Amino acid sequence: GEDVEQSLFLSVREGDSSVINCTYTDSSSTYLYWYKQEPGAGLQLLTYIFSNMDMKQDQRLTVLLNKKDKHLSLRIADTQTGDSAIYFCAESRGNTPLVFGKGTRLSVIA
């Protein structure tokens, strides 16, 4: 199948903003998700956005969606060391399995 693309690594200083980008493939995707994975653990849903929205904000998290370019981003404000993890974007295509990107490893430098 076609891939969801993410850059593999991002490094930021504590207190700065982090922006993690994702390019998805299916213009008919209805929901797009961001998951967080801490070392040795499963994935946890951070946030999601419906495809008819441009932006969604949830405390320190802001999701931006550009449907024309099939581009999704996750901004984490005031990044903390506890935000160090792997972040996955995923797209939903109805009842078929979610399609995940390869994940972006975020490293936060104190």
Partner 1 sequence: DGGITQSPKYLFRKEGQNVTLSCEQNLNHDAMYWYRQDPGQGLRLIYYSQIVNDFQKGDIAEGYSVSREKKESFPLTVTSAQKNPTAFYLCASRRRGDYNEQFFGPGTRLTVL
Q: Which residues contact partner 1 (rule: CB under 8 A)?
A: 1, 8, 30-31, 33, 35, 40-45, 48, 50, 88, 90, 92, 94-95, 97-98, 100-103
- Provide the residue type at 6 as one letter: Q
**Minimum distance from residue 103 beta carbon to partner 1 (Å):** 5
> Could you count the other beta carbons within 10 Å of the beta carbon of residue 2?
8
**Minimum distance from residue 48 beta carbon to partner 1 (Å):** 7
**Minimum distance from residue 15 beta carbon to partner 1 (Å):** 28
* Helices and strands in the chain: count of H runs, count of E runs: 0, 11
What six digits make up the tokens of 20? 């993690």
Q: How far apart are CA 81 and CA 90, in angstroms?
A: 24
- Answer positive or negative: Cα dihedral of 99, 40, 6, 44: positive
Nearest to partner 1 of 76, 86 (CB atom): 86
Nearest to partner 1 of 12, 48 (CB atom): 48
Q: Which residues, 6+ apart, have CB-to-CB distance to 29 below 8 Å?
A: 51, 91, 92, 93
**Minimum distance from residue 28 beta carbon to partner 1 (Å):** 11
Nearest to partner 1 of 79, 92 (CB atom): 92
